[in-house]
């Protein structure tokens, strides 16, 4: 049963792995989870290194060697144990193969290798986007950013916070603590790769250097948006001297290349994150931070939106259980709008 579970988990990509581990560890609790259960999520490779340190042989997986040959090899060098997360490595491949950028190629010193790499990347790089127009490519890249920022990094943040709090507050057994710390360290390395991937995506989007097209795909009734503006005005959450009601609706409903209007929201990053969340929960209006950053037509007290930074600020405040300043005023806006909808 254990081998079957290990094999099933090993087929997951990093996101699926973290979702599974999060659900398991949080629901069961660190006190109840066993060391054997944690080892389902950690893959241990025993690699034998003979006299030549560059030729590694997996003494357990190499099916071409007989038992006698294995014994001879084992006696001639050392065997080291390597641990890693029991899942597929997809993020690094995505960065290298789909989002290769010039400075990576420039760093190669071997001319033969350079030729091979150039050929490889010319054939494979961004292949999944080439068939689409540039505006569609940008839409797809922004969608990928949404998944990285709003889902993947949030799950990592939840896991990191849960493990850190629990192993420091409780008398966790040493072996179990070491296993949890190892998983946490590996997940944080993955977080670094995701942040790097997000930077590469942003650079790729900027490299198109075309007029920003698209919109927020909001199909809500214009009257509802007028009432939303009115409630924001009453609660002093919008700068009416810089953003009229017409400009507010124009930003939310029209194509970005059809106007120069900007919404000036009088909220900090945490308040704005809460507002965007309630907007979806209460009114089913979904606006992605990456789209706001790309369009550049919604500005808060902190200036233009940086999707990763804004999402991280709000996520961290939620983890601490800290409600935004004037959260009751934000909640009252949606309560009144819901009452008006019933009328």
203 located within any domain: yes
Q: What confidence score (pLDDT) does residue 255 get?
A: 87
Q: What domain range includes position 168?
A: 91-207
**The predicted structure's pLDDT at residue 71:** 65
Burial class (CB in 10 A: 0-12, 13-18, 19+), 99: buried
pLDDT at 112: 46
- pLDDT at res. 236: 95
Least confident among 57-61, 80-84, 106-110: 106-110
Last residue of a domain, one of 53, 85, 117: 85
Q: Please say which residue of 57, 85, 113 terminates a domain.
A: 85
Q: Same domain, yes or no, for 163 and 229? A: no
Total-model pTM? 0.65
Positive or negative torsion for Cα 149, 153, 158, 160: negative
Q: What is the average pLDDT across 30-42?
A: 87
Q: How far is CA 291 from CA 20, 27, 48, 144, 209, in A?
A: 29, 34, 50, 11, 16
Given pLDDT bands bounded at 50, 70 and 90, which one contains residue 92?
low
Query: From the CB of residue 159, how many other CB atoms can be counted at a distance below 10 Å?
Result: 21
Give me the number of domains the chain comprises.
3
The long-range contacts involving 287-293, CB below 8 angstroms and separated by at least 24 positions, are 287/216, 287/218, 288/142, 288/146, 288/150, 289/146, 289/149, 289/150, 290/142, 290/145, 290/146, 290/149, 291/142, 291/146, 291/214, 291/216
Q: Which residue has the higher pLDDT, 338 or 247?
A: 247
Is residue 216 in a domain?
no
């Amino acid at each position: 049963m254990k081998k079957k579970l290990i094999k099933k988990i090993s087929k997951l990509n990093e996101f699926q792995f973290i979702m599974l581990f999060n659900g398991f560890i949080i629901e069961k609790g660190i006190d109840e989870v066993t060391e054997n259960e944690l080892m389902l999520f950690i893959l241990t490779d025993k690699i034998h290194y003979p006299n030549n340190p560059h030729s590694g042989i997996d003494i357990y997986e190499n099916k071409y060697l007989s038992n006698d040959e294995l014994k001879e090899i084992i006696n001639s060098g050392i065997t080291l144990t390597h641990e890693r997360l029991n899942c597929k490595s997809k993020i690094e491949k995505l960065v290298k193969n789909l989002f290769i950028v010039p400075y990576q190629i420039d760093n190669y010193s071997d001319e033969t290798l350079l030729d091979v790499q150039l050929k490889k990347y010319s054939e494979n790089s961004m292949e999944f986007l080439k068939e689409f127009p540039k505006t569609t490519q940008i839409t797809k890249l922004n969608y990928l950013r949404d998944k990285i920022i709003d889902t993947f990094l949030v799950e990592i943040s939840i896991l990191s916070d849960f493990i850190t709090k629990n192993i420091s507050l409780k008398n966790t057994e040493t072996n179990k603590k070491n296993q949890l710390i190892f998983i946490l360290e590996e997940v944080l390395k993955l977080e670094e790769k995701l942040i790097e991937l997000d930077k590469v995506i942003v650079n790729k989007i900027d490299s198109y250097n075309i007029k920003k097209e698209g919109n927020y795909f909001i199909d809500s009734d214009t009257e509802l948006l007028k009432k939303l503006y009115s409630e924001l005005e009453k609660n002093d959450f919008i700068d009416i001297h810089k953003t009229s009601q017409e400009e507010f609706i124009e930003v939310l409903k029209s194509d970005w290349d059809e106007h120069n209007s900007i919404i000036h929201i009088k909220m900090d990053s945490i308040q704005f994150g809460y507002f965007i969340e309630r907007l979806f929960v209460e009114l089913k209006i979904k606006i992605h931070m990456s789209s706001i950053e790309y369009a550049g037509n919604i500005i808060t007290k902190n200036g233009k939106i940086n999707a990763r930074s804004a999402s991280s600020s709000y996520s961290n405040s939620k983890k601490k259980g800290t409600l935004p300043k004037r959260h009751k005023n934000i909640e009252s806006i949606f309560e009144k709008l819901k009452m008006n909808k019933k009328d």
